[in-house]
Chain A
Amino acid sequence: MYKLSKVILAVSLSALSLAAAAESLPGIGRTATPKEIAAWNIDVRGDFKGIPPGSGSVAQGNKIWDEKCASCHGSFGESLEVFGPLVGGTTKDDIKTGHVKALSDGSEPKRSTLMKVATLSTIWDFINRAMPWNAPKTLTPDEVYAVTAYLLNLGDILPADFVLTDKNIAEVQKLMPNRNGMIFYRNMWDVKGKGDVKNVACMKNCIKKIEITSVLPDYTCDAHGNIAEQNRYVGEVRGEDKLLACDPHPSIAELDRIYNTPYNPGAKGSRQPVSVAITTPTTVVKDIDEPAGLVMIKQNMCTACHGMEKKIIGPGFAEITAKYKGDPSAERHLIDVITNGGSGVWGGTMPAHGEIKAGNIKRMVDWILLGK
């Protein structure tokens, strides 16, 4: 522990008032007021210490859900389009045992939140502090109770007529499907803990045969862009050109042969040692200034729901551009939809964004329609 005694000694002892003596750092910081502590002390612990009084019904939660949660999480909490699924993979039996079976038998590869979470307090705390995703900390405690109740109803943990309150939430905890599924693993909590996997530092003839177990799937060949443009143009290596990266790689059987027989230049699967295709760095010098409207779109997190090309939750910008091409009323319409919200055109609901300045909305629409 860092010793303050030295700091204190450096201060003239006679100058220390009684009040300052109670604190160790005179003149630094001040006591927090009860109201300040109440404003920020929002965490809710596993034993529900810290949860504020309140209540909310499944029905109320359903209403809030459809309005504020469903666009990302799906109407039934099942969606994995934006985030992992919240609901799914738990059974009546899990509620009895408190340990989700699908976590061990692999019957549900996409692990949902209700499969994983042991502590209901965590769900309440997280909704309260961080949801909705684009407007966190805007729900009242009653609304948080309601949304929590509805989520548990979607997971067949609470009945449709249930009202969740601070008084009964500890009882509901006893129904959490994975409440007995967690262990506090101290070996990786304590700095002095011992690892669970042991390797030995062998130096010579450590293995008889090299066994290659996995190679980069060919379909990923250009999934990460042109690697040549992700490396320097000087040094002991170059980034691999897209064409070379997309050249089919040898099969695992072929690699097995290559790495377990003496090297034989000119053999099957062997190629001339190449000099590297040194790409001249002409493209890197180009500065890319994004149009103001696109910058606004990114800053206002429109891209959370709209892909550049394709639909995420709402339509992709390229799709909107295509749809309204040549439509003289498009500008007015899009400004209206962004400002006031809308629905029906693309099969979903666009929330209102009145908080964005009108001038900025116009810039965004200009970019969508005109690309500038």
Chain B
Amino acid sequence: MSNELNKPGRILRAPENFIDASLSQAITKEGLNEERRNFLRKSFVAASAVIAGGAALNQNAMAAAFEGDPLILNHTAYDQTLGLPVAANPYGVPSKYEKNLVRRESPGLSPVGGASVAFTPLQGLFGIITPSGLHFERHHQGWQDMDPTKHRLMVMGMVKNPKVYTMDDIMRLPSVSRMHFIECGANTATEWGNVAVPTVQYTHGMISCSEFTGVPLSVLLEDCGFDIKDKKGKFILAEGADGSGMTRTINIDNALDDVLVVYGQNGEMLRPENGYPLRLVVPGVQGVSNVKWLRRIKVGDKPFYAKDEVSSYVDLMPDGMTRQFTSIQEAKSVITTPSGGQVLVGKGYFNITGIAWTGRGKIKRVDVSTDGGRNWRTARLETPVLSKAITRFNIDWVWDGSPAILQSRAIDETGYVQPAINQLREVRGTKSIYHNNAIQSWRVADFGEVTNVQVK
């Protein structure tokens, strides 16, 4: 039993109630001042030390007295009572103990919720699929829950026979199901100039990955008599049925390759916040092009210069010129656990885990450094590794309690290596907002706290 106490990764009892009641009340009433803050800090460390020291000093005594975990030795409320019946929740919901893992807005990002972002809680997710209810949200003029029986899709422009489709029509067509990520072009935008937000939810939470079901756009284009040999129709306009009438120009090469007109997400219909009943999925291309509530596809011979390819989702370069139509999301990765705002539960073994993705195909390799980029080890890629989808990586790490800096670096099948933030800045300057795919650094302090830092 004494060995059990020394095992790496053992959770020591927390210094709960280490704050004296009167101090606690004072903080609640009057907030933290420097004096209270210092006192708290000392109390926290002292309480921790007592528990850690106690465990070390009294191992033998404890081992002798320790009969076992009361949670094992005694019956519980769960194993001696009747549980709930089937269909008590006709649409199942997560455990009440999981309420911390929800989409959140980043305070101060936008004064109006209808033109804002709710970030995916990457810090607590596993594998490669984002639960539909946690898929990040980005709306430009609020979201709508649209009646699918009244939804129409029009395909027009440079096609021989412009057509209108109902949802019945679209859902009769040969369907495909594919896993793809959707990442907002502004993901990690807050970090272009300097560190600005504390956790991976806010630094990287504008990426999600789903299994999408729908019909290839090429099927509809062919059905409307789009002339592939003609080569004049080079651009697609996709437009939404919401207030913003969201529009984006899409590359015809993507449209004829893997773009999907989607109604299904993770085995059910799309969620309203993600475009129910119909959206475009443009694999590998920034989120704004994946037009939600899709109602119109137009083929044209020139780009359309919609608002979000003119004033936003463009890259201002140091010479004052602005790059337009920067659409592909280049290779990127991030460690999700341990990550900013977290605290390691003790010394010893940890599974460093994270996600990697690229808009140019498959992830080939992910390397991880625990010493700020001095040395790197290659992580395990979990299967499946799919094109233009999130790939999950894991790597073993034994934390000895010394300060560390964790980083991950993705390499995609084209050989492109995810860049460091200073490499990006050398080319694009610091005035950029979009398309920040830099290596993320998480500093681990010797007392287990993980914080967001940038490293050269």
Contacts and interface: CB of A to CB of B under 8 A. Distances in A.
Interface residues of B, number: 161
A333 to B, nearest CB: 26
B243 interface: yes
Interface stretch (A62-70, A110-118, A148-156, A320-328): A110-118
Interface residues of A, number: 128
Contacts of A24: 222-223
A229 B359 contact: no
A25 B223 contact: yes
26 contacts: A1-B256, A2-B216, A4-B219, A30-B164, A37-B154, A47-B302, A81-B111, A113-B311, A122-B311, A137-B243, A190-B253, A191-B359, A200-B417, A206-B373, A214-B453, A230-B101, A231-B341, A238-B343, A243-B41, A255-B453, A271-B45, A271-B447, A273-B347, A274-B45, A276-B343, A312-B112
Interface stretch (B62-70, B92-100, B130-138, B265-273): B92-100
Interface centre among A116, A178, A237 (most CB of B within 10 A): A237
Contacts of B305: 45-46, 119, 121-122, 125
Contacts of B219: 2, 4, 25
A216 B112 contact: no
A203 interface: yes
B20 to A, nearest CB: 14
Given A193-B328, A263-B403, A284-B96, A210 B306 contact: no
A184 B426 CA distance: 21
Contacts of A125: 247, 305-307
Nearest to A47: B302
Given A203-B375, A224-B199, A249-B451, A25 B423 contact: no
A211 interface: yes
B453 A246 contact: no
Contacts of B98: 232
B284 interface: yes
A212 B16 contact: no
Contacts of A247: 37, 41
A7 interface: yes
Interface in A277-321: 277-278, 280-281, 284-285, 298, 301, 303-304, 307, 312
Contacts of A259: 372, 403, 405
Contacts of A103: 316, 320, 322
A212 B237 contact: no
Given A205-B375, A216-B195, A210 B455 contact: yes
A220 B202 CA distance: 13
B328 A201 contact: no
B32 A246 contact: yes
Contact of B456 (A178, A213, A298): A213
A281 B97 contact: yes
Contacts of A245: 198, 341
B197 A224 contact: yes
B222 to A, nearest CB: 5
Contacts of A58: none
Interface in B172-214: 172-174, 176, 194-199, 201-202
A277 B47 CA distance: 10
A41 B451 contact: no
Interface of A: 1-2, 4, 7, 22-25, 27-32, 36-37, 40-43, 45-47, 81-83, 99-101, 103-106, 111, 113, 116-119, 121-122, 125-126, 129-130, 133, 136-137, 178, 181-186, 188-193, 195-207, 210-217, 220, 223-225, 227, 229-233, 235-240, 243-247, 249, 255, 258-259, 263, 265, 270-278, 280-281, 284-285, 298, 301, 303-304, 307, 312
A114 B403 CA distance: 48
A137 B1 CA distance: 72
A197 B124 CA distance: 31
Contact of A118 (B310, B315, B340, B448): B310
Given A103-B316, A129-B244, 18 more contacts: A24-B222, A28-B173, A40-B154, A125-B247, A183-B324, A184-B303, A212-B443, A213-B421, A214-B194, A216-B198, A217-B195, A227-B199, A232-B100, A239-B341, A243-B41, A247-B37, A276-B14, A278-B11
Given A45-B304, A136-B244, A191-B253, A301 B223 contact: no
Contacts of A270: 446
B106 interface: yes
Chain A interface secondary structure, helix, strand, loop or mixed? loop
B298 interface: yes
Contacts of B307: 122, 125-126, 130
A340 B330 CA distance: 51
B456 A211 contact: yes
A136 B403 contact: no
B418 A117 contact: no
Contact of A277 (B14, B245, B298, B456): B14
B302 A188 contact: no
A230 B373 contact: no
A304 B114 CA distance: 7
Interface string B322-358: 1111111010000001101111111100110000000
B59 interface: no
Nearest to A312: B111
B306 to A, nearest CB: 7
A238 B449 CA distance: 10
A45 B300 contact: yes
